[in-house]
Amino acid sequence: MSQYHIYGIGAALVDTEIAVNDEELKAFGIDKGVMTLVDESRQHELIEKLSDHLIASKRASGGSAANTIIAASYFGADTFYSCKVADDENGKFYINDMKSANVAMPNIVASQGITGKCLVMITPDAERTMNTFLGISETVSSDELDNSAIKNSAYVYIEGYLVSSETGRAAAIECRKIAEANNVKTALSLSDPAMVQFFHDGLSEMIGSKVDLLFCNLDEALAYTKTESVDAAIAALKIIADEFVITLGNKGALIYDGNDIIEIAPCETEAIDTNGAGDMFAGAFLYALTQGHSHTLAGNLASLAASTVVSQFGPRLKPEQHQTILESINR
């Protein structure tokens, strides 16, 4: 039996959420609905200009894979996370926040530099737009991998955002190879349409010949497979993933369990902030699979969890909300 249900690797980012409108995004030259990498001065400029728009939510440790790992942990999975933080206040906050969510981590030696930060801008239609300063996360590398933890996990989970860093991409590939050599299942998220658009070949390197489980939304699925229909995308994804999930926003999700396509119905909700929806879906889904549940139950749990997180500000749920969701699914 594995020591950990899920081992994750990704960027360590401290999130700040700001409410904006479409006109403000246009005025500041910000591409809506995607993650854009920026330098620290650009991020600081935006925060200063939008300081009166701050959403009254506490800062939180983030990064796509971190959100997924935290969600799985709160649902009850044993998790491990590798990342890179700097020897600064945000770095200390990040590690403490992860540990408070019962996520195991290696003995991180904080480095000189600046811990990564993500400015998340939420428009009235609930769409999230991210401007990310990776900071020291840009140099996350194979040095951050914990081989023992990988070998003693049921799944490794790799965020597609790592593709934007040369060392991060190499670490993702190495993580997958260690997992494959030790019969550990591999899961990867395409993460963002911009990653697919600008780093398609790098993502293909990270996927290798095939992963066990792939997560993507419909835009990412169509862009990665270079197809124009759901059916065509499904056929193409079957070549690179034994199983996959295509999230469809307020239309639910499609799951391929290796044999059949399963349609997951959406859960009715009033979305105010879609930041973290895909991460939450992946975390709940992986939790359920590692507990031996069916793909249908895993999809229903993930759909409910994602619909809950989009009904409030922030990419994470309160710890007690996870248990409420589990209880409603198990009734």
Judged by phi (left if over 0) then psi (alpha if -120 to 50, else beta), residue 208 lies in: left
Domain boundary assignment for the chain: 4-330
pLDDT band at 55, cuts 50/70/90?
A: low
Per-residue confidence (pLDDT) for residue 104, from 0 to 100: 96
**β-sheet bridge partners, residue 86:** 111
Confidence of residue 150 (pLDDT cuts 50, 70, 90): very high
Average pLDDT for the chain: 93
pLDDT band of residue 16 (cuts 50, 70, 90) is confident
pLDDT at 47 over 90: no
The span from the CA of 227 to the CA of 153, in Å, is 34
CB 265 within 8 A of CB 252: yes
CATH architecture for residues 4-330: 3-Layer(aba) Sandwich (3.40)
150 contacts 158 by C-beta, under 8 angstroms: no
pTM: 0.94
Whether 51 shows a pLDDT value over 80: the answer reads no
Helix (H, G, I), strand (E, B), or coil: what is residue 299? helix
What is the percent of the chain where pLDDT is above 90?
A: 82
Please report which confidence band the pLDDT of residue 265 belongs to, taking 50, 70 and 90 as the band edges: very high
